[in-house]
């Protein structure tokens, strides 16, 4: 009996040593992610009206994500880089399949593979920075104009497919993650300025291609009081929730705005408002600090990586992660229009949590292999 326990204990120790020794995961980043997941589950527990099965479902997705993170972190970056074009191609094909299958069914972002259902656009959020980094890896930096054009095509095709879903918010985020790679690759400031100016000039043209509901969202954002029952209702109720939370919040499970169903989508896109209502400004700042810490750590890992692909990928993933937080935070506080962007690792939802953690697996791999020649 004792032997059995001892041998089991020994085995567990060996497994633990293998996971936590070489190649090592970055402990500060892991702790940051763990703390974030824990905070996310706590808020979700309250936001879902103490629905344990929902929390258990989310926790199991975190576990799947964590397993993928550990698995990916053991793969050398050179191998990940070699797989990148295939991963990108697969994501594009899935988006294309969705466009073909989803024809005429309204806003359908889900691909149903029988066993699992997921959003290919979430996959693209990970594939995009990896692909642009793969493209720029062997080329001279800062990027030349023709490289910028190539990057434009690589980001443009999947972005158009996502816009067609239609999911403008995600499309913009996917484009942004590609642009971050260009930025980190040292694109000259004057070129950045020129591109931004061109973008501002193109905005009125893009307006014509927006869906009615997308224009409506922008207009509602500008004048929320005009539409107190539609999208404006979301913004007003969300601002009331956040504002009434005050400095210290109303306390766990005490938020009237979410409990009495004034706040829509309170387990998904608007979960940040639940946090603001129940944990107040203190809770909001703690959560934001946690995000900033995670992103800072990502950038530090990127700065210490050994090759261009690793640096660009880790850096862009970190910046994109931060952008999700800023867009979602801006949305629930009435600062930005309502776009369906979840709060990373806090909003209820499977694909997002799993792909984000897989992305951090890539960052971990880059960190773990910084000293060894692959």
Q: Which residues bind other proteins (CB under 8 A)?
A: 49, 141-142, 180, 183-186, 229, 237, 239-247, 256-257, 259-262, 276, 280-281, 284-285, 288, 291-292, 295-296, 299, 302-304, 306, 308, 311-312, 315, 319, 322-323, 325-326, 329-330, 333-335, 370-371
Of 84 and 267, which CB lies nearer to other proteins in the complex structure? 267
Q: How far is the CB of 297 from other proteins (least distance, A)?
A: 11
Of 94 and 346, which CB lies nearer to other proteins in the complex structure? 346
Of 109 and 123, which CB lies nearer to other proteins in the complex structure? 109
User: Cβ neighbours of residue 180 under 8 Å, at least 6 residues apart?
Assistant: 129, 315, 316, 319, 320
Of 7 and 49, which CB lies nearer to other proteins in the complex structure? 49
Of 92 and 179, which CB lies nearer to other proteins in the complex structure? 179
Q: How far is the CB of 324 from other proteins (least distance, A)?
A: 11
Q: How far is the CB of 355 from other proteins (least distance, A)?
A: 20
b/e sequence 221-237, b meaning 16+ C-beta within 10 Å: beebeebeeebbbbbbb
Distance in angstroms (rounded) separating the CA atoms of residues 175 and 128: 8
Of 80 and 314, which CB lies nearer to other proteins in the complex structure? 314
Which SS3 state, helix, strand or coil, does residue 117 take?
strand
Q: How far is the CB of 3 from other proteins (least distance, A)?
A: 44
Q: How many CB atoms lie within 10 A of CB 211?
A: 12
Distance in angstroms (rounded) separating the CA atoms of residues 292 and 319: 10
Q: How far is the CB of 257 from other proteins (least distance, A)?
A: 6
* 3-class SS shares of the chain: helix, strand, coil, % to 5: 70, 0, 25
Of 10 and 28, which CB lies nearer to other proteins in the complex structure? 28
Distance in angstroms (rounded) separating the CA atoms of residues 336 and 235: 10
Q: How many CB atoms lie within 10 A of CB 186?
A: 12
Q: How far is the CB of 169 from other proteins (least distance, A)?
A: 16
Q: How far is the CB of 67 from other proteins (least distance, A)?
A: 29
Distance in angstroms (rounded) separating the CA atoms of residues 3 and 183: 58
DSSP 18-78: HHHSSSPP-HHHHHHHHHHHHHHHHHHHHHTTS-HHHHHHHHHHHHHHHHHHHHHHTS-HH
């Amino acid at each position: 009996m004792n032997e059995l326990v001892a041998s089991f204990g020994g085995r567990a120790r060996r497994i633990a040593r293998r996971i936590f020794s070489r190649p090592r995961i970055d402990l500060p980043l892991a702790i940051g992610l763990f703390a974030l997941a824990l905070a996310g589950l706590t808020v979700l527990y309250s936001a879902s009206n103490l629905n344990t099965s929902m929390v258990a479902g989310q926790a199991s997705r975190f576990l799947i994500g964590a397993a993928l993170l550990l698995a990916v972190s053991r793969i050398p970056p050179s191998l990940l880089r070699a797989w990148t074009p295939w991963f990108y191609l697969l994501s594009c094909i899935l988006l294309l399949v969705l466009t073909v299958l989803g024809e005429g069914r309204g806003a359908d972002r889900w691909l149903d593979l029988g066993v699992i259902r997921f959003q290919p656009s979430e996959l693209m959020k990970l594939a995009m920075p990896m692909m642009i980094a793969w493209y720029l890896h062997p080329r001279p930096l800062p990027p030349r104009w023709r490289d910028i054009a190539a990057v434009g095509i690589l980001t443009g095709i999947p972005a158009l497919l996502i816009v067609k879903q239609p999911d403008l918010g995600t499309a913009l985020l996917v484009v942004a993650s590609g642009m971050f790679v260009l930025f980190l690759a040292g694109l000259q400031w004057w070129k950045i300025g020129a591109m931004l100016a061109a973008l501002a000039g193109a905005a009125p043209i893009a307006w014509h291609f927006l869906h009615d509901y997308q224009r409506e969202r922008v207009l509602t954002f500008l004048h929320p009081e005009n539409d107190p029952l539609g999208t404006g209702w979301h913004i007003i109720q969300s601002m009331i929730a956040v504002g009434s939370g005050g400095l210290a919040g109303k306390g766990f499970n005490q938020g009237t705005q979410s409990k009495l169903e004034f706040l829509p989508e309170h387990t998904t896109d608007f979960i940040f408002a639940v946090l603001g209502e129940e944990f107040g400004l203190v809770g909001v700042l703690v959560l934001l600090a946690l995000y900033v810490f995670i992103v800072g750590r990502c950038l530090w890992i990127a700065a210490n990586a050994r090759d261009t692909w690793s640096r660009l990928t880790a850096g862009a993933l970190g910046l994109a992660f931060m952008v999700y937080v800023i867009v979602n935070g801006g949305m629930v506080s009435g600062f930005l229009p309502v776009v369906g962007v979840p709060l990373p690792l806090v909003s209820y939802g499977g694909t997002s949590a799993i792909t984000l953690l897989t992305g951090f697996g890539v960052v971990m791999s880059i960190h773990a292999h910084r000293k060894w020649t692959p």
